[in-house]
Structure 1
Amino acid sequence: MPKIVDHDQRRDEIVEAYLTVVARDGLPAATSRAIAAELGVGTGALWHYFDGYDAVAAGAYQRITERTNTRIAAATADLRGLDAVYAMLREILPLVKETVDEAYVVVGFWGRLAANDKIAATRADVDEHWHELLRAHLTDEVADGGLDPGIPLEDVIDVLLSIAVGQQVHAIMGSDLAEPDRQIRMIDLCLRPWRR
């Protein structure tokens, strides 16, 4: 009788193996052969569950998005206003090993996305979701009197998200701009003109 394989579970295992290799050995080491070795299978076994390496990278990107959103929800659950904004951004910015490792996967996916429009549909609407969260937190801060009501919310949110994305690139490049205190100071600088 043929062995019954849970395809979703196997796909999850492959994505987790990819993320494990990246965290341990770096993105360049996350080859098909290394992922298969991590799972203890032959390389060809990967392609029963994914159409190619780009699809694995897209799956890893989606997994990181899910993890980040889960962390954001937990970190901001009991917070409001700017406290929630900073807690949220600390889960996105590459400030610690976990988020730096994630930055390698995310930026690597963006590179693949630029060369393969077939995986574009796999990109989560993360920017829109984060935009809405930041809008809600900043609106609360305005209501609580901590920010000037004249703050151009949409523009400030765009800058905050651009900083978060840019810092992921700086982190994988090893730039001094990715030093954690500098990253937080950029957020401070963006919000300072609007604080009351």
Structure 2
Amino acid sequence: MPKLVDHSARRREIIHATWRLIAEHGIDGATMREIAREAGFANGALTHYFEGKDDLLRASFEFVYEETNSRIGAAMGDATGLAALRLFCLEVLPLDQTRLLEAKIVLPFWGRTTADPVLSAVNARAMAVWRGWILGYLGQAAEEGDIPDGTELEPLVDELLSALLGAQVVAVMEPQRWDGGRQLRMLDTLLARLRA
């Protein structure tokens, strides 16, 4: 009887192997040969799951956002307004090894979005989702009276998103200095300013 293969699980295994190599050696160091070896596959076996390296890289970049969004959904519960916004931010900030790994993955991809329209579109879609969520949480906070009446929300979305993405960059560059405690103080300072 032929062996049944879970293609989705295999694709995730390959993507996780790609992540590990990118985090350690950068995108250029993640060759198809090295990815196959890291994932425990024969050299040509990756073509059964991805059309080529560009397809694998796109899927790896998308999967970072999918993993983060899945955690956000799981963490949210019944939270609304500023409580929901804080939960969202906690899942984006690189506060532990998993989220720091994700930051190490997205950083080289962000550099490539300027010249690669496919990766640029992946990032644009992800940021549009995040902007929509942040705007929704801020709208709830305004309705709940947690931020002052008449507060212009769009600039706050820009500020929060810039702070979150900037924290990912700095945490990768200076992990000892930019630890979880420092990130949480930054976040709570930003949220306290919203209430002022």
TM over 0.5: yes
Aligned residue pairs total: 193
1:51 & 1:114 partners in 2: Cα distance? 23
Query: How large is the RMSD of aligned CA atoms in angstroms?
Result: 2.9
What residue in structure 2 maps to residue 42 of structure 1? Answer: 42
Asked if the contact 1:142–1:149 (Cα under 8 Å) also holds between the matched residues in 2, the reply is yes
What residue in structure 2 maps to residue 18 of structure 1? Answer: 18
What residue in structure 2 maps to residue 134 of structure 1? Answer: 134
Aligned CA distance change for structure 1 residues 128 and 177 (closer, same or farther; 3 Å): farther
Residue identity in the other structure for 2:37: A
Aligned CA distance change for structure 1 residues 143 and 3 (closer, same or farther; 3 Å): closer
What residue in structure 1 maps to residue 66 of structure 2? Answer: 66
Aligned CA distance change for structure 1 residues 44 and 130 (closer, same or farther; 3 Å): same
Deviates most, 95-104 or 39-48: 39-48
2:178 & 2:55 partners in 1: Cα distance? 29
1:169 & 1:73 partners in 2: Cα distance? 24
User: Offset at 1:51?
Assistant: 4.3
Identity %: 37
Aligned ranges 1:1-196 → 2 under 5 Å: 10-19=10-19, 21-22=20-21, 26-28=24-26, 30-123=30-123, 125-174=125-174, 178-195=178-195
Aligned CA distance change for structure 1 residues 39 and 177 (closer, same or farther; 3 Å): closer
Query: How high is the TM-score relative to the length of structure 2?
Result: 0.81
Aligned CA distance change for structure 1 residues 194 and 174 (closer, same or farther; 3 Å): closer
1:12 & 1:124 partners in 2: Cα distance? 22
Residue identity in the other structure for 1:153: L
User: Offset at 1:87?
Assistant: 0.7
Extract unaligned runs of 5+ from structure 1. Answer: none
Extract unaligned runs of 5+ from structure 2. Answer: none
Query: How high is the TM-score relative to the length of structure 1?
Result: 0.81
